[in-house]
Amino acid sequence: MKPVSLLFFSAAVWECVRFSLVLAYLFTIGMLPSSRALLVWFSSPQLILAAAFVLIGVSPQRYGTYRAIIVLGKGLSVLAGTITVAVTARSAIDFPVEQSSPLMIAVIIGADILVLTAFIITTWSHNAKREPAAPTEAAQCE
């Protein structure tokens, strides 16, 4: 197995673990069941990212177009997590919040940043190693 494929499969595993951590966290805090279901629904796109990582790991040429979607999805995930940490830290001043909440969210964001950074570096190196495209008929006629 190539190291790049291993990176993609590891990222897919992380996305599933991340979803499971968020799900476990939502069921440990005191929320209404309907609120938990809504938050699970909003966090489920991470599973789409996991599937995209697997597909790129299996066939990078065929599913290479998913790279931009993955960068966008991970970037939005990091942004949303950062906002969550800010809101959670601010709300801890007004009313008690579980002490582990900001730390757990920060760890998840840190791992997301590492995955995003590794993916961007891999994508840039992949694009740099690509062979130049063959000239088209129109270019050859000129």
pLDDT at 54: 92
Domain boundaries defined on the chain:
3-131
Residue 105 · residue 85 · CB < 8 Å: yes
Q: For residue 40, what pLDDT band results from cuts at 50, 70 and 90?
A: confident
More confident residue, 68 or 35: 68
The mean pLDDT value for 100-118 works out to: 79
Q: Which of 65, 77, 89 is nearest to 113 (CA)?
A: 77
Examine the pLDDT at 21 and tell me if it is beyond 80.
yes
Burial (CB < 10 A; 0-12, 13-18, 19+), residue 10, is middle
Q: What is the mean pLDDT of residues 47-65?
A: 89
Residue 55: the pLDDT is: 92
pLDDT per residue over 59-95, tens digit each? Answer: 888 988 888 888 888 888 888 878 877 776 666 555 4
Which pLDDT does position 51 carry in this prediction? 92
